Structure 1
């Protein structure tokens, strides 16, 4: 299961472009987000210290803390202590 989630995260990262949102996990453990894009819902694991580009055309995201956000595709997000900080 973990390999599938990581594969999906890598696929999303490769699809992402200059306008994609990026998320950096500043925590010591992996964090999981739920991303809904074009009607498809996936769990995206972000390893400790990793940065992932995703959501190039806008999406809905449930953060590790349970907070829900709507992203347009150009945001920069940090995960700190399990909470998302959107810049």
Structure 2
């Protein structure tokens, strides 16, 4: 019984760290972030009210206003009023 409990706790701990940064679009209109990870760029389109997980091991993110930020993988990018903030 104790082994099963320890295995479940370890699995949850590993599962939680496997996720990276998250982006939350609190606006009604869609916004796009440009994510550069491992030398390749990807556009991350966020619909109004959408939350996504991305960037599990660090990346660069270009915000909707053109600002570029470095993420380590544990931050939350919150878009509200057309402005992106890292929390």
Shorter-chain TM-score range? 0.7 to 0.9
Which residue of 1 is the match for residue 63 of structure 2?
Answer: 63
CA shift digits 1:19-76 (9 cap, x unpaired): 4000100111010111000001011101100000000010000011111100000001
Per-residue deviation, 1:82: 1.6
TM-score, normalised via structure 2 length: 0.76
In structure 1, C-alpha distance between the alignment counterparts of 2:38 and 2:76, rounded to whole Å? 20
Unaligned runs of 5+ in 1: 1-16
Q: How many residues align?
A: 71
In structure 2, C-alpha distance between the alignment counterparts of 1:43 and 1:86, rounded to whole Å? 18
Runs of 4+ in structure 1 over 3 Å off: none
In structure 1, C-alpha distance between the alignment counterparts of 2:73 and 2:56, rounded to whole Å? 5
In structure 1, C-alpha distance between the alignment counterparts of 2:65 and 2:81, rounded to whole Å? 9
Mapped pair 1:41 → 2:41: yes
TM-score, normalised via structure 1 length: 0.76
In structure 2, C-alpha distance between the alignment counterparts of 1:39 and 1:76, rounded to whole Å? 22
Larger Rg: 2
In structure 1, C-alpha distance between the alignment counterparts of 2:66 and 2:81, rounded to whole Å? 13
Per-residue deviation, 1:85: 1.4
